[in-house]
Amino acid sequence: MIITRHLYREILSTILALLSILVLIYISHRLIRYLTEAASGGLPSEYIYQLLSLKLIGVLTVLVPLAFFLAILLTLGRLYVDNEMTVLSACGVGLPFILNRLMYLSVLIGTFVAICSFILSPWAEQKIEDIRLELRRMPEISGIAAGRFTSFHNGGTFYVESLSDDQRIMSDIFAAIEKPERSTVVTAKSGYQKADDEGMGRYLVLQQGQRYEGKAGGLDLHLTEFDEHRLLISPQPSQRELDLQAMDNEALWQQGDRAAMAELQMRLAIPLGILLLAPLAVLISHTTPRQGRYARLFVAMLIYFSYNNLLKIAQKWVIEGDMPVWLGLWWVHLILLISVLILWQKTLYGLPKWLLRYRKRKVGVTALAGSSS
């Protein structure tokens, strides 16, 4: 049908425009972070675009629903401003017809987002973890830069005067570790990095140096000369932090704890939200030529981010045990569904009779009070 093709063409072109802008903003922000990490020596430059591409796959589950929601709002807003909706209504094409056609499109968009949420995003997170693990095993990667003080996990600080051409061997090293019970200062002529047997933790191996140890402000100072000494600069990361978002759906279901169930519900909530946001965008898109097509944009952004934040809050409550798993994130969808039904009733059929009677009674009481005064 001509009207359906016109509607789809307008919405899809708007989605592509919005998605391009959102992707550009995200890539710029993420690229700055990776360039900063690369400048400090913590990330090889050849891995930047690979990590950026994988991160972009994961963030599509957030950007696509937002672009689709705003595209419906802006497209219908333009139709209202140009009086095209008025013409369509006069021809018998009202909101039920438009909503019916948009639900078909929302199913297609929701299917794509579901593939990203359940398959592509966990795969991308797993690839990112593989790259990070590979980087931890590379001796030349540690975040160490010559001529700069660097902190490591236990509050210590070390300084490297120079690095070899291959970034493996360090010269003229200074390290200081401050703890409540003692303070330690280590100097060494040279050193290098070495991963543990599992390749997860990282040590700084110092050669030909001295170790000064004692209590801050005290006179008891111990001096030890060594040929080789190791300092732990990067401990093994938490398994939960590594695996939760990268686990596939079957592994999460088999694990079965609160965090795994919350992650599964979040993956399902993202495509399900599209089926609820689409009719909501249709119902709040009504505007007048004087208001312009962007009149409802602020309200739409407020609704979307409130909905998204409620999902994250509900997920956190499930993980922490404040919300039962069976209720999980579904109450957020229920709130959105009730809002859509109320707006649908108000838009197509007006307010319910009991509410109209209440409003008339309230207006009558107010008028009576004004006349008596």
> pLDDT tens for residues 170-216?
888 888 877 767 788 888 888 877 766 555 567 778 888 888 887 76
Residues 229 and 258 in one domain: no
Give the ranges where 236-352 is alpha helix by DSSP (H): 239-243, 249-255, 258-284, 297-320, 330-349
3-state secondary structure (DSSP) of residue 139: coil
Assigned domain for 309 exists: yes
Section 335-353 average pLDDT = 74
Assigned domain for 148 exists: no
Q: Where residue 1 falls among pLDDT bands split at 50, 70, 90? A: low
- pTM, rounded to two decimals: 0.71
Domain boundary among 234, 252, 286: 234
Confidence (pLDDT) at 141? 45
Assigned domain for 373 exists: no
Residues 322 and 266 in one domain: yes
Confidence (pLDDT) at 111? 93
Residues 227 and 247 in one domain: no
3-state secondary structure (DSSP) of residue 151: strand
Domain boundary among 178, 199, 234: 234
Over the stretch 74-121, which tens digit does the pLDDT of each residue have?
888 887 777 766 676 677 667 777 888 888 889 999 999 999 999 999
Confidence (pLDDT) at 239? 46
Give the residue from 198, 199, 203 showing the smallest Cα distance to 175. 203
Give the residue from 254, 226, 255, 228 showing the smallest Cα distance to 240. 255
Residues 98 and 245 in one domain: yes
Q: Where residue 354 falls among pLDDT bands split at 50, 70, 90? A: very low
Residues 332 and 267 in one domain: yes
> In total, how many domains does the chain have?
2
Query: Residue 231 is encoded by which pair of tokens?
Result: 């300092």
Residues 193 and 279 in one domain: no
- Tell me the β-bridge partners of 234: 202
Domain boundary among 218, 234, 250: 234
| DSSP characters over 178-209 | E-SS-EEEEEEEEEEEEE-TTSSSEEEEEEEE
Query: Residue 89 is encoded by which pair of tokens?
Result: 């209504």
- What is the residue range of 224's domain? 154-234
Residues 259 and 343 in one domain: yes
Q: Where residue 65 falls among pLDDT bands split at 50, 70, 90? A: very high
